[in-house]
Every structure is written in C-alpha cells, then in structure tokens.
A and B are shown apart, each in its own frame.
Chain A
Amino acid sequence: MKKIKQVLTTALAMLREIFDESAYARYLEKNELRSSPEAYAGFLREYELVKARRPRCC
C-alpha cells in the first residue's frame, strides 16, 4: 500500500512538473505570495522566456 502511494505521489509530482504547477508553487514560495490572478500574471511574465524558448522535438 505504501509503495502504491509512493508511485502515485511520484506520478502526480511528474505531472505537476510537466504542467508547470510546481514551477508556479516555487515562484509563490520564492516571492512569499499567495496564489492570485496578479501572482500568476507575475509568474507568467517571469517564466515567459523560459517557456517560449523551450524546444520541443518532432
């Protein structure tokens, strides 16, 4: 049971990283902010270059 929980937790963490939810959480923590439209707009501004320059393979 513990193993299954661990696998599910890792899978969720993987999805959160792929979908940038973790990046947003780190941004909130770093800037000591609470989630809000303004905070997310700030995150998107800071993260825009990273996101837009990320290559995707064919």
Chain B
Amino acid sequence: MPKLLSNTIWFAVAVLATLAVATIALHRGEQINALWLVVAAICVYAVGYRFYSKFIAARVLALDATRATPAERLENGRDFVATNKWVVFGHHFAAIAGPGPLVGPVLAAQFGYLPGTLWVLAGAVLGGCVQDFVILLFSVRRDGKSLTEMAREEIGRVGGFVTYTAVISIMVILLGVVALVVVNALKQSPWGTFTIAMTIPIALLMGIYLRHLRPGKVLEASILGFVLVMGAIFGGQWISHVDSIAQWFTLGAPALAILVVVYGFAASALPVWLLLAPRDYLSTFVKLGTIGLLAVGIVALRPTLHMPPLTRFIDGTGPIFAGNIFPFAFITIACGAISGFHALISSGTTPKLIRRETETRMVGYGAMLAESLVAIMATVAACVLQPGIYFAINSPAGVVGATAEKATAMVSSWGFPVDALQMQSLAQAVGEQTLFNRTGGAPAFAVGMAHIFSNSLGGQAVMAIWYHFAIMFEALFILTILDAGTRVGRFMLQDALGHIWKPLGRTSWYPSIVFTSALIAGAWGYFLWQGVRDPLGGINSLWPLFGIGNQLLATVALCVATTIIIKMGKARYMFVTLVPLVWLVLVTFTASWQKMFDANPRIGFLAHASQLAASGGNARLIFNDRLDAVVTGVLLIMVALVLLVSTVEWVRVLSGRKAATVKEAPFVTSRFVEERA
C-alpha cells in the first residue's frame, strides 16, 4: 500500500478514536449509543497495536525473526510445538479469557460507564497488553521458563519466593471469589442450579465418549456436550415449574457453597480425563461461541446506554462496593485492563508454541486487546440496563434492605427510580423468583446479555432462555476455573511439600492427592464461606481483595520485565514497563492501605471488625475481617519486598556496579530462515 494512503487511513482511524473517546467522555445529560464504546475501543486498539506495540517490538525488544524459538529448538511433539500464529493466538486467548473481564466491569459500572471504559482502554493498551507481550517474549528467550523461574533468575531468590507465594495466595483468593459469584448467581434458582448440576454428568459422559467411543474427537464431543447443555437449559425451565422437583434444586447460599467446595475437591482428585478435561473443552466451546454472539448482538442491536457516564457513587459511597474511583475502579477491573494472572499464561503454555519471535507481538499484545474488547462488551451489557434495575440487582441486603419495598425505596432515593412491580415482572420474564440482592455481577450481566440477545433474536418471549443461557455460560466458565485452579494449586502445593517430605510431592500417590486437594479446596472454601456469611454480600470485601492480589502479581511481573529491559541495555526504554508499574504500585498500595486501615467500616477491614466488636457482633465475622486485613498486609509486604529488591538491582546495573547480563538461551539461527531462503 502506498505510504501516503496508509498514513491517511491511520490518521482517519486516530481521528475516529479521538472523536469516539471524546463522545463517551464529554457527553452529559443525553444517553449515548453503545456503539460509541465499541468504535472507541476498536480504533484505540488499532492505533495501539499498529504504533505502540510496533515501537516496543522494534526498539525495546528488538524481535528477531531469525532466532530459533524453544518451540523449534526443543520440539518434542508434546508441549514444545512450533505452531501457526493464529492457532497460538486462539489458544492464548482461550486461556486468558475467563469470567474476570465480564464480572469486573459489571461491578465497576456503579461509578457509571465512563471510569471503567477509560481504564479498560488505557490500561490495556499501555499496561496489560505490554505486560503480556514482554513476559511472553522474555519467556520465549528463556526456553519457556515460568514467571517464578524468571523472577528467581533475574531478581534473585526473594523474587522467586515472593512470586511463588503470591501466585498460590492469589489463586486461593481468586477461587473463593469466583465461587461466590456462582453461588450468588444460583441461590434460590432451581432453573440455574439444575442446568449447572447437569453439566457434571454431561462432562462425565463426554469423558467416556472421548475415551471409549470416539477417541480424540474432542470437537465432536464438545458439540454433543453443547447440545446436551442446551437441552439442560430447557429442562431447567420445565423443572422450575414442577414444584415437587424444583424444591430439590432451590438451594440457599450455604448449601450451594458446600456443594461447590465438594465439587472442587472431587475435580482435583479425580482423573483428568473424566471430569476436568471434558469440562474444560465444553466451557471453551461455549465461551468462544458466546463472546462472538455477544459481539454480534451488540452490533446488531446497537443498544442505548441507560447508565449515566458518572454516578453519584464516585464519592465512594457505592452500594456494591465502597471506595472512591481511585483506587477502587482500577482494582475492580483487572482482567480487562491488566491482570497479573496473564503473566502466568504468557510464561506457561504459550511460549512453548511460538514459531517465530516476531509472532509474540500478535499473540501477546493482540490477544490481550481481544480480552479487553470482551470487558467493553461486559460494560455495555451492564449499562444497557436501567440504573435502578442495575442497582436493585447488585446491591446487598445489608445495604438496601431485604424486602422489595425497602430495596426499591432505597435505590429510588439515590435518583435511580425503580419499583417492586418492575422488578417482579423482570424476574418473571427471566424465570426467577426474585432479582433483588443478587450480588456478584453475574446475574446483572446475565440480565443485560439476555436483554441484548432477546432484542436481537427471539424477542421478550425467549428472554428467560437467554438469561439462563448467560447464567449457564458464566457458571460453566467459573466452575472450569475452580476445577483447573484447584488442581494447579494442588500441584504447586505438592511441589512445595515434596521438599519437606518426599512422598507428599508425588503427584500419583493418592493420600497426597487427597490431602493436598483438601487443603486447597478447604482454603478457598473458607473464603467462599466467609463471603456467604457476610451480611454485606461478601463481594464487597472479597472482590477488592482479589483485585489487589491480581494487580500485585502484575506488579511482580512488571518488576521482572523492567529488570530484564535494564539488563538488556535498553534502560532508556524502561518506561514502557515502568509507567504501568508505578501506576499499579500507586493503585494497589493505596487500595491495600485503605482496605486495611480506612476508618469507614464499609472500606476498612479493621474498622469493620471494630464496629462489629463494639456492637457485640458475630465473633466469626470479626475474625474474618481481621484475617482479610492480615492477608492484604502479607501480600503488600511481599510485593514491597520484590519492588525493593528489584530497585536495588536496577540501581546496581545502572550505576555500573553490576554487569548488565541477561540469562537468555543462546542464539540459534532458525531453520525457518533457511527454509525461506
């Protein structure tokens, strides 16, 4: 393409991006169309990918297409396999996209659509994509080493230890939080509970089908599983109308919490082929399909956003979670903007599949852009709802009251009118008994998604089906995270315990499997139970804890990346990772401090504990608050330690007191270069 034409097109894209962002940022008083968010996102991502990622690839990382990757040098046909870049892109996206980019933006919409949208756009282009890209490349240049190993080699043993501890702690908190989202979505919902319960025998059936009937035909089995799950959704509708059966599936939060923990334990202890693998396939199949469908639905319907750009809750008095925009909007939305967890995947399976170094840009930076677009779609799904409905669904009983009258009166008093009749007819339309106090983000997202889907396909008559499809989709996502996460946590624990007593490290020794599975499931189960018993809905305290943990992991990843960039002799470009690192340090340290010590009992764990103690509250809740404060403090201290050790390393290298050497695998010329020649 002639340079002039190319420059003109990119100039037009940049102008459109500016116009779209200005429209969503400066519009006041009138509702805007959701397409503005989508256009802003696509244009900003296009400019970010074309210019910023290219700058990083060329100047900072100096990607070299002639250098053989570990997939080529260590190819073993199992985990090291040189793979087509689009295939790796899909593989990487399927691994990084979970429920986080769906739930976080829905919760953060309590501030209005603007803060979340701006953070998702800026955070992804300047932070999350950069982190995923550089960590992927650094892992590729180190034979596919994990973040923990890279931290140990580049920052020292402290870095390695903290990264390991942070990963396992965050995993436990994450699993507890996402399990709470499922419990809140399914409580008192026979339809939802039946559908999700049915996914377990469906997964078992798929496992047997794959192993004995049609070995290896995973796509075929996934399509079959999907058809059965759709059947379970319709079956759930029937069951919810038959009182004698419905009562079996109408469960409260405590009962569901126990069942979810038992499920997590079983999935970790059972053979992979029987439950974990087929469920993972089914979830991925549904996930990819539904995200595509949601994108088509938004473009086809072009819905209007009813949520204002900024709500009154920017002052920190939000009913869903308390705290100001800074730092809490940036903690609540992690995965759609920047997520430390991605660094584990960028240094896990993906680097072992990369065929050429130059492809890390598209896979690392590009896949995160796609994930960020999913977060924008979740924002749209939440903001197409009338704000009164959104707040009535998401506010816990502890804030708005347990009855319909009290809740609607409270939400209406905030300036977001809603009445009990409106909520009742919406609950009927989606086939639920009630939609009040359904905290966690999943039900609100499902209502928004059902609204978009039913308006583009099938009309109001099928809204209940779409709602339960959305609930099934989210719960399936989350249960997959639970079983895979419990298992990965079990392996990490076995690795560590094996140093204390060798048999505990043996992954095939059943007593060790049962013991470590119980330990991990019990740990996240404790956080889940804590969330279920919390009168404020649990999400209020646990989601920020998870957000802090996840962003602290991103802080560790960016410390590792900055250290490597300095050691590569590219200190003048260290700002690409240093700027997001400084931002994350400000956000996470402020949030952690406030969560521990803020005087407002709705924000500070210790203030809440003191309030409960003064009013003779439940001793268990007081203990939980103090435990949360300790967990936050420990995470904070560990990451401060990594930051300190990294800074010392940077100063030593920059002042010339230490040689700037990186621990990369030696250069080997790629055979693809010779083939091309």
Contacts and interface: CB of A to CB of B under 8 A. Distances in A.
Contact of B83 (A17, A41, A54): A17
Contacts of B88: 17
A56 B171 CA distance: 10
A30 B277 CA distance: 22
B184 interface: no
Contact of A13 (B81, B87, B281): B87
A37 B212 contact: yes
Interface in B227-251: none
Contacts of A16: 219
Interface stretch (B18-26, B483-491, B521-529): B483-491
B174 interface: yes
A47 to B, nearest CB: 7
Interface stretch (B92-100, B257-265, B459-467, B610-618): B92-100
Interface residues of B, number: 59
Interface string A43-58: 1101111111111111
Given A24-B216, A27-B77, A40-B216, A56 B95 contact: yes
B215 A19 contact: no
Nearest to A21: B218
B348 A58 contact: no
Given A10-B87, A57-B96, A15 B219 contact: yes
A57 B272 CA distance: 19
B220 to A, nearest CB: 9
A10 B84 contact: yes
A49 B271 CA distance: 11
Nearest to A28: B216
A17 B88 CA distance: 8
> B-side binding surface: helix, strand, loop or mixed?
helix
Contact of A39 (B84, B215, B349, B546): B215
A57 B345 contact: yes
A41 B207 CA distance: 11
B218 A55 contact: no
A30 B344 CA distance: 29
Interface string B96-118: 11111000000000000000000
B217 A46 contact: no
Contacts of B186: none
Contacts of B285: 19
Nearest to A30: B77
Contacts of A39: 215
> A-side binding surface: helix, strand, loop or mixed?
helix
Contacts of B84: 10, 13-14
A41 B212 CA distance: 9
A44 B482 CA distance: 21
B284 A18 contact: yes
B100 to A, nearest CB: 4
Given A26-B81, A30-B77, A52-B272, A57 B215 contact: no
A18 B91 contact: yes
B180 interface: no
B211 A40 contact: yes
A40 B100 CA distance: 34
A55 B284 contact: no
B376 to A, nearest CB: 17
Contacts of B288: 18
A58 B87 contact: no
B216 A43 contact: yes
Given A17-B87, A19-B281, A35-B216, 12 more contacts: A10-B87, A13-B84, A17-B91, A18-B90, A23-B78, A26-B81, A40-B211, A52-B487, A55-B95, A55-B344, A55-B485, A58-B178
Interface of A: 10, 13-27, 29-30, 35-37, 39-41, 43-44, 46-58
25 contacts: A10-B86, A13-B86, A14-B87, A14-B90, A15-B90, A17-B83, A18-B91, A18-B288, A19-B218, A27-B78, A35-B215, A36-B215, A40-B211, A41-B211, A51-B276, A52-B484, A52-B487, A55-B344, A55-B485, A56-B480, A58-B98, A58-B174, A58-B341, A58-B546, A58-B550
The 4 closest A-B pairs by CB, nearest first: A40-B215, A14-B90, A58-B100, A19-B218
